[in-house]
Amino acid sequence: MAGMETIQYNLPQSRIPQAWYNIVADLPKPMAPVLHPGTMKPIGPDDLAPLFPLALILQEVSTEREIEIPGEVRQIYAQWRPSPLYRARRLEQALDTPAHIYYKYEGVSPAGSHKPNTAVAQAYYNKKEGTKRLSTETGAGQWGSSLAMACAFFGMECKVYMVRVSYDQKPYRRALMEAYGATVAASPSNETEIGRAILQEHPGTSGSLGIAISEAVEVAAKDPNTKYALGSVLNHVLLHQTVIGQEAIEQMAMADDEPDVILGCTGGGSNFAGLVMPYLGRKIKGQCNARVVAVEPAACPSLTKGRFTYDFGDTGHLTPLVKMHTLGSTFVPPGIHAGGLRYHGMAPLVSHVMDLGLIEATTVQQLDAFAAGIQFARAEGIIPAPEANHAIAGAIAEALQAKQEGKPRTILFSLSGHGHFDMQSYADYQAGKLQNYDYPEEEIAMALAGLPTVG
Amino acid sequence: MAGMETIQYNLPQSRIPQAWYNIVADLPKPMAPVLHPGTMKPIGPDDLAPLFPLALILQEVSTEREIEIPGEVRQIYAQWRPSPLYRARRLEQALDTPAHIYYKYEGVSPAGSHKPNTAVAQAYYNKKEGTKRLSTETGAGQWGSSLAMACAFFGMECKVYMVRVSYDQKPYRRALMEAYGATVAASPSNETEIGRAILQEHPGTSGSLGIAISEAVEVAAKDPNTKYALGSVLNHVLLHQTVIGQEAIEQMAMADDEPDVILGCTGGGSNFAGLVMPYLGRKIKGQCNARVVAVEPAACPSLTKGRFTYDFGDTGHLTPLVKMHTLGSTFVPPGIHAGGLRYHGMAPLVSHVMDLGLIEATTVQQLDAFAAGIQFARAEGIIPAPEANHAIAGAIAEALQAKQEGKPRTILFSLSGHGHFDMQSYADYQAGKLQNYDYPEEEIAMALAGLPTVG
């Protein structure tokens, strides 16, 4: 029998990273401080204590390079980590490209995306500090299901405020969270003051992530047994995702290959950061020359079109002010199906490395993203999440450019999750019901005009 | 940091089996021949030639112990094989049992179940012999999506007749097949003679697997470029699944453990056979003492309540006659959500090893199956397919018995797939909308009374 080509690079359970990598320790310039929205002064740990356990607050502000992963968290990671690195040989063949295409696949987690990497860690630290219940928001549902699963593992209650439109459109995501034992409410709900106020003013509202965040935060702030958990944006969340990139570095060495370009889709920034931060740490030290590319939806282009300035994390302006690339916190992105990428801002850490010139950014239109996803599925078998289709489109563009130049190129991208709970979007795409969105210039200009004045 | 407990036993890509294991070579007594429904004489390869490529017909009747897996098939297997063997330590802890529970997880395949193991092989042999198009039927959709994916890999067309009720109730399974490029028709359709005839007689019918089989067979019989593919029951289909058990034997050795009991759910029998046949080969040689248990739904108990005799494979009586445990080919099982287990008969090979006393069988009620699935999901994170919940319920019963006896017991079961496309059934279960079904004694007696007389 002919020899086989390797397409799967697997590490043993023992190679799950021992520590998360904190790039803050290696940054040539420190990040801007987070500001209290009332005083406009830098916030301290006490300001966050009602919402998060101390361990996570300390991670949020840590400047240590390595933060040890607790044994119990690593033990749970072993359910799906180290995640596989694939060489997309059938896709390469379909594209007839000299490029090598690799993807790090996070859809092997039981909840189907990279989100459990931080959900399990957040649940662990909360459990350890006595939290009985976690509250959170979810849009598309990847984050809500991941936290629901993590809470099931640690025997904690989980309360999810799910944006009304998703609650109605994605009953199976809700069924998944409820199978894990979580309680799910459509947001805005009658359970919170802010929810009741909004329902009174807009009885038929379809909700928003901003409103759902406000409800989850309100519940946590009022109940000493409940803390709040966020699935992206914050430093400690991005930190937990760095297992992805650390494993990828080791797996690319197994493949005896080195990426020329590294891509990931960006919404809040956690999946992208998870893959690229360990590489950027090397880049800062001159040990890596790869171009690092954030791929965002044309309809919500915070890195490519946003302003790098202080803004609120939510539409209701309850959160602290963070310096980030933002389209304006009152901007409501068009209804693209990649719900996980519909966020007005970008993680401050990702914004910061963009500002430092360590990464670049590009945009992909919705129809191009789905076309890429379909091509990928037919070659590689995996149905990608609509969010991940943006990274695939970016990778295919790189591979075709290499073909045009007639030169090799090694491409590595993050396939953040599968699309098993997003099949309606594929059905709509195949039926010709989806559309592209022009850059919403006026709406963004208006939202940016309303930015808070700082300093 | 404390040492980690191993929960994942992974083999490298190089350990994908080189050959499928054909237990027919080791059977102490040969299987009964397959009979032509017209002549009642044993059928020959020529009778099957319009439907299947020669390579698969030869595998169907082969008595060779090992059949080499073609390099191209092994190369595609490498996308998800060797599949992981898990030690269910968190489930053991939740059950507080001295038993060790292992599960071989086939849901890691891109289509989400064990079905691609044979879909890829069948597509390969068809492609090699010039087939341009494959036709098949699907009920719940696991098989249809697997064949659609395999056809995409080999650049063949794929036509799927999907039982009308599933077509309407499971639009996302259909979207998945269409994303892979398959054409899906609700069955009965207007595309076939049998379909048109049935539609005329029963305009509002919800269809059945038996009707869908007839349509797919008719299309293949009439078009020289089209062949037919079946997802279970036949010898060659079961053969392709034996990679599961071969890998499991090696992985159990890695775990330094030996199963006392091996379980799998049974519908047509392919998932069960895939895990157990390599073990039964050893059992025949006295190298394995494990009890081997088929777990079937109480609503469709072919092995536990059926008769071991000649019957048709389909409701329309178009197929050859095979000797199997059957509830009568006109029996229509109650509408349990484990659609993959709703088959009136059992694979002749599984029936034969049952008749030889090599395996035993037990039944599980629908509500117990879902309760087991929910308990499993909260402990292990994976949402199982409704079919697989039967195996889990069987494994949990064994673990609790071990606990009651205060003795260790090593349990191995096959987790045949995930339930990501079956969340409606979980939603219904959680909402209290599902029910158990009494043994349908009268209906089965009537169906058995109508069995054909042979010899």
Chain A neighbors of B6, CB-CB under 8 A: 13, 78
- The alpha carbon of residue B70 is apart from the nearest alpha carbon of chain A, in Å, by 8
Distances (CA, A) of B8 to B251, B323, B345, B370: 9, 39, 35, 25
Q: Which has the closest alpha carbon to A241: A339, A347, A159? A: A347
List, as one string, the DSSP characters of B273-295: HHHHHHHHHHHHTTS---EEEEE
Over residues B42-86, the pLDDT tens digits come to 998 899 999 999 999 999 999 999 999 999 999 999 999 999 999
**CB neighbours of residue B189 within 10 Å:** 22
Once rounded to an integer, what is the mean pLDDT over residues A291-303? Answer: 95
* Cα gap A369→A384, rounded to integer Å: 10
- Option in B180, B381, B420 nearest A79 (CB): B381
Chain B neighbors of A420, CB-CB under 8 A: 112, 418, 420-421
Cα dihedral A24, A29, A30, A35 sign: negative
Once rounded to an integer, what is the mean pLDDT over residues B390-416? Answer: 98
Residue at token pair 């536990």: B304
Over residues A199-238, the pLDDT tens digits come to 998 888 888 887 898 899 999 999 999 999 999 999 999 9
- The alpha carbon of residue A354 is apart from the nearest alpha carbon of chain B, in Å, by 35
Q: Is the pLDDT of residue A356 over 90?
A: yes
Confidence band for B389, pLDDT divided at 50, 70 and 90: very high
Q: Which residue of B has its CA nearest to A372?
A: B179
Q: Is the pLDDT of residue B146 over 60?
A: yes
pLDDT at B455: 59
- Terminal alpha carbon distance of chain A: 70
Q: Is the pLDDT of residue B2 over 60?
A: no
pLDDT at A1: 39
Q: What is the fold of B7-16+69-112+236-448?
A: Rossmann fold (3.40.50)
Q: Do A374 and B179 touch (CB under 8 A)?
A: yes
Chain A neighbors of B74, CB-CB under 8 A: 1, 4
Confidence band for A293, pLDDT divided at 50, 70 and 90: very high
pLDDT at B341: 84
Q: Do B108 and A108 touch (CB under 8 A)?
A: yes
The helices-and-strands tally (H runs, E runs) of chain B is 19, 15
CB A82 within 8 A of CB A247: yes
Complex-level ipTM: 0.95
Over residues B169-214, the pLDDT tens digits come to 888 999 999 999 999 999 999 999 989 998 998 888 888 887 888 8
Distances (CA, A) of B150 to B81, B123, B212, B216: 15, 6, 20, 17
- Option in A1, A18, A110 nearest B1 (CB): A18
Q: Do B174 and A382 touch (CB under 8 A)?
A: no
Phi/psi for A121 (5° steps) reads -65, -45
Phi/psi for B439 (5° steps) reads -55, 120
- Option in A8, A12, A180 nearest B78 (CB): A8
Structure token digits, residue A335: 């209804």
* Cα gap A413→A276, rounded to integer Å: 9
Over residues A411-432, the pLDDT tens digits come to 999 999 999 999 999 999 999 9
* Cα gap B98→B197, rounded to integer Å: 58
- Option in A75, A153, A430 nearest B5 (CB): A75
List, as one string, the DSSP characters of A206-270: ---HHHHHHHHHHHHHH-TTEEE--SSSSHHHHHHTTHHHHHHHHHHHHTT---SEEEEE-SSSH
Confidence band for B160, pLDDT divided at 50, 70 and 90: very high
Q: Tell me, what DSSP letter sits at residue B9?
A: E
Q: Which residue of B has its CA nearest to A376?
A: B180
Once rounded to an integer, what is the mean pLDDT over residues B301-320? Answer: 88
Q: Do A377 and B4 touch (CB under 8 A)?
A: no
pTM comes to 0.96
- Option in A78, A380, A383 nearest B176 (CB): A383
Distances (CA, A) of A149 to A53, A123, B146, B181: 19, 10, 27, 33
Q: Do B111 and A71 touch (CB under 8 A)?
A: no
Report the share of chain B in percent with pLDDT over 70: 99
Q: Tell me, what DSSP letter sits at residue B22?
A: -
Report the share of chain A in percent with pLDDT over 70: 99
pLDDT at A225: 95
The helices-and-strands tally (H runs, E runs) of chain A is 19, 15
Polymer length of chain B = 455
Q: Is the pLDDT of residue A113 over 70?
A: yes
pLDDT at A453: 80
Q: Do B380 and A74 touch (CB under 8 A)?
A: no
**Half-sphere exposure in the Cβ direction for B342 (13 Å, CA):** 23
pLDDT at A455: 59
Q: Tell me, what DSSP letter sits at residue A14?
A: G
Phi/psi for A347 (5° steps) reads -50, 130
| Residue A341 vs residue A225, higher pLDDT | A225
Confidence band for B1, pLDDT divided at 50, 70 and 90: very low
Phi/psi for B396 (5° steps) reads -65, -40
List, as one string, the DSSP characters of B200-269: HH-TT----HHHHHHHHHHHHHH-TTEEE--SSSSHHHHHHTTHHHHHHHHHHHHTT---SEEEEE-SSS
Q: Are strands B19-21 and A360-364 parallel, antiparallel or unpaired?
A: unpaired
Determine which of A182-186, A339-343, A381-385 has the lowest per-residue pLDDT on average.
Answer: A339-343
Q: Do B152 and A378 touch (CB under 8 A)?
A: yes
pLDDT at A349: 98
CB A211 within 8 A of CB A197: no
- Option in B79, B378, B420 nearest A420 (CB): B420
Distances (CA, A) of B376 to A116, A240, B415: 17, 26, 11
* Arithmetic mean of pLDDT over chain B: 94
- Terminal alpha carbon distance of chain B: 70
Q: Which residue of A has its CA nearest to B151?
A: A378
| Residue A333 vs residue A271, higher pLDDT | A271
Determine which of A8-17, B3-12, B262-271 has the lowest per-residue pLDDT on average.
Answer: B3-12
Q: Is the pLDDT of residue B357 over 60?
A: yes
